[in-house]
Structure 1
Amino acid sequence: MIDHMEIEVREVQTKKDLKRFIRVSDHIFSSDPHWVRPLMAERLALLDREKNPYFRHAHAAYWIACHKGRPVGRISAQIDRFVYETTGRQLGHFGLFETIDDANVAQALLNRAEEWLRENGCTHVQGPYNLSSNGECGLLVDGFHTPPALMMGHARPYFQDHLEAKGYEKAKDLLAYELDLKKPLPPRLERFVNMVDRNDDYHLREIDMSRYDEELSTIIDIFNDAWSENWGFVPLTTEEAAYLAKEIKPIVSPHRVRICEVKGKPMGMFVTLPDINASIRSINGNLLPFGWLRLIRQLFLSYPKRMRTPLMGVRKEFQKSRYSAAMSMMMIEHTRREVVRRGADWSELSWILEDNFGMRKILEEIGCNVYKTYRIYEKALA
């Protein structure tokens, strides 16, 4: 164990510091065969206070722990005005937590984040969030044997031990389901979906890429309504939605994004994206000098075999309807057929709150299995 007097926790101040902060992961995960090294440009954009519209309603600080000049860990702390407004609590967040397997390093990082949050008026801390509940969230506590899917996190098993040793307790588990796309619906459920298909009040359509911004605005509107009463929910702003739409547009295809209309009103949405982590992993997160060529070739010259569904929802006014489950199954099934026809064979549907039993039942009925668990921790700041 490193002597705590030899650990220096430095705040990130410059762009050079920020790049070093991002590359701390290289030291932590160098021997982990399932880690996916993130693209530097994507991480810089996420953490840039000028570029990321998250910072219109939040502020954050980042720190690197060093021992004899060598990075041995990192952490962030965030305060989001929307969290205060939606929860009524002086609740701060921590995130981007990574450390070598050393209790003193972990403690030094957590102490600094907690101190900053306390100084800024927080009474409780929750996380990890990278940077909010609309980004990568939760600490991986089960499912270390496979790489993370697109926009999902990865961790070392010992991260959990160090958090819990510092007094952090489980607040909520988030579940990632996997689905064998080649497996058809059970006949009973296929009849259920077909029944809704034949109902003239219900119309399932692909998004219109010529109206991309308008269509994404509709999807985010459904998302904000459908998820508004869920634990940990923070709304996506118009700016954040536009930023997200721009970021994901290169990997959006109409046949993977569905809107379900009821009597002409958009009531449900389903967004599936190719799991490009497999391609990013093959270039080790390096676009230069020739990684971008390999990435383009893998993404556009052959159809991706792996998918992830990060967004799915039905408006609140329709969630109690007997057709709500059928709508969800219909969006899943129509998308499944299209991606399988083109060559996909696997998908992750994530994340799902552990106590969202309605959605869990739907996913398990169509053949999904939980294969990863991410945990949100919380602690009182005495």
Structure 2
Amino acid sequence: MAIRIEVPEDNASLTEFVGFHDRVYAYRGARWPASAEIELPFLMGQSPFCEGRTIRPIAARDGGELVARAVAIVDERYCRHWNERLGHVVMFEATPGAREAVKLVMDEACRWLESRGTIAARVGDLFPLDFPFVIDEYELLPPNLLRQNPDYYHSLLKDAGCETEKGMVDYKIEVTAELVARYESALEAARRAGFEIVPAKEIANDRRVADFIDVMNDAFKRHWGHVPTTREEGTLFDAMLAFSGGHETSVMAYREGAAVGALFVTPDVSSAAILESGRKIAESEKLNTLGIGVREAARGRGVNLAMASYAFLQLIGNGAKYLSYTLVLDDNWPSRRTAEKLGAKVCANYVVYRRNFRARWHG
């Protein structure tokens, strides 16, 4: 039976589109459910994450059954920031054996993106809507938000014209008494140097959101793939952080009253994972998520270590046996050195794909 390409638009078809994630990952012993509360408003144009973005969800049916999906995005904020007409393809999922369907979905997405003046599509990276594809750790439950894609995705995407664009590593830490002492020392050293490490819960709402956005946008302005965060996105993200308990573990760093560093850490939420009967969550799977940024003028002075140390000490005090430093670009050696100083070791590898239109279609 012929594969049919659709552009879902109404609530019922978009709800099915979002829920397709759960059908693809039903084989896993432990998995994160679809983020319907984030994805559905986005697909319906009702989310702060829609600002400056034109989106087109694309689905493939084979014999009436959904077998592949993706969302093509023209992100004008990205294009302006980087002066690059790059499109994005996010929320890709597919069932085993859906090779032809994936080709059709990617062709449709890329034709649509090219018709809007973009020269290529990045696949698998647009925070917080999508994350890179794991290439080696397929069994353990990763930190919340990170992909836990099947291994067959790589063959499907390569057959659909994609190339590897960027590599990333995930870091994990096993808590020891020596590391606890190291974290306490790092926190005290930053305080002696004149930095104030302030928990998010102690900062007034408006200032917390404004300072967080300003620091992160400045710290990441030259970071590969970064898209500046808007005030509306920051407000929504802050509300999500509060809901997860992240105001207890996230911090800002100040010097002489000016914000110079920001760290968000959400505690372990593995209790929300869906488990097969008899599957238990191991201590090494009970992980936080983390994002860290320091203004250039304050770098190299231990602010990053102090902020992470504060959060990690809070997590350890609440019983954490393992910690996550989360994803880092392969070539981001300053951040990778920070991970190593915190006692982290690489636990998984991820890739971002790219499809160049001219190479694919125009020879």
* TM-score, length basis structure 2: 0.89
User: Does 2:202 align with 1:202?
Assistant: no
The Cα shift of 1:116 comes to 1.1
> d(CA) in 2 for partners of 1:86 and 1:228?
8
The residue aligned with 2:226 is 233
Distance change (3 Å), C-alpha of 1:167 and 1:211: same
The residue aligned with 2:282 is none
The residue aligned with 2:258 is 265
Map of 1:61-76 to 2, 5 A cutoff? 61-76=56-71
The residue aligned with 1:311 is 291
> d(CA) in 1 for partners of 2:240 and 2:188?
35
> d(CA) in 2 for partners of 1:193 and 1:206?
13
The Cα shift of 1:43 comes to 2.9
> d(CA) in 2 for partners of 1:192 and 1:250?
29
The Cα shift of 1:257 comes to 1.4
Aligned partner (choices 88, 92, 95) of residue 93 of structure 1: 88
> d(CA) in 1 for partners of 2:320 and 2:179?
16
Distance change (3 Å), C-alpha of 1:210 and 1:90: closer
The Cα shift of 1:213 comes to 3.2
Give the conservation status (yes or no) of the 8 Å contact 1:174–1:351: yes
The Cα shift of 1:31 comes to 1.4
Deviations 1:12-45 (A, max 9, x none): 1101000110122233222122332224334323
> d(CA) in 2 for partners of 1:230 and 1:150?
22
User: Does 2:24 align with 1:28?
Assistant: yes
Deviations 1:148-182 (A, max 9, x none): 32222221111111111233111111222112234
Map of 1:1-382 to 2, 5 A cutoff? 6-50=2-46, 52-102=47-97, 103-129=99-125, 132-185=126-179, 191=185, 193-199=187-193, 201-209=194-202, 211-276=204-269, 278-282=270-274, 306-319=286-299, 322-323=300-301, 326-382=302-358
- SS of residue paired to 2:290: strand
> d(CA) in 1 for partners of 2:58 and 2:186?
52
The Cα shift of 1:264 comes to 2.4
Give the conservation status (yes or no) of the 8 Å contact 2:250–2:264: yes
> d(CA) in 2 for partners of 1:204 and 1:381?
47
> d(CA) in 2 for partners of 1:172 and 1:115?
23
The residue aligned with 1:300 is none
Give the conservation status (yes or no) of the 8 Å contact 2:91–2:129: no
> d(CA) in 1 for partners of 2:246 and 2:142?
22
Deviations 1:64-100 (A, max 9, x none): 2111111111111000001211222221010111112
349-358 vs 25-34, which moves further: 25-34
Distance change (3 Å), C-alpha of 1:189 and 1:118: same
Deviations 1:117-162 (A, max 9, x none): 1222211111123xx2344321222221212322222211111111
Distance change (3 Å), C-alpha of 1:46 and 1:169: same
- SS of residue paired to 2:312: helix
Unaligned residue ranges in structure 2 (runs of 5+): 277-284, 359-363
Number of residues of Structure 1 aligned to a counterpart in Structure 2: 350
201-210 vs 259-268, which moves further: 201-210
Distance change (3 Å), C-alpha of 1:327 and 1:250: same
Identity of aligned residues (%): 20
Give the conservation status (yes or no) of the 8 Å contact 2:241–2:247: no
Give the conservation status (yes or no) of the 8 Å contact 1:271–1:310: yes
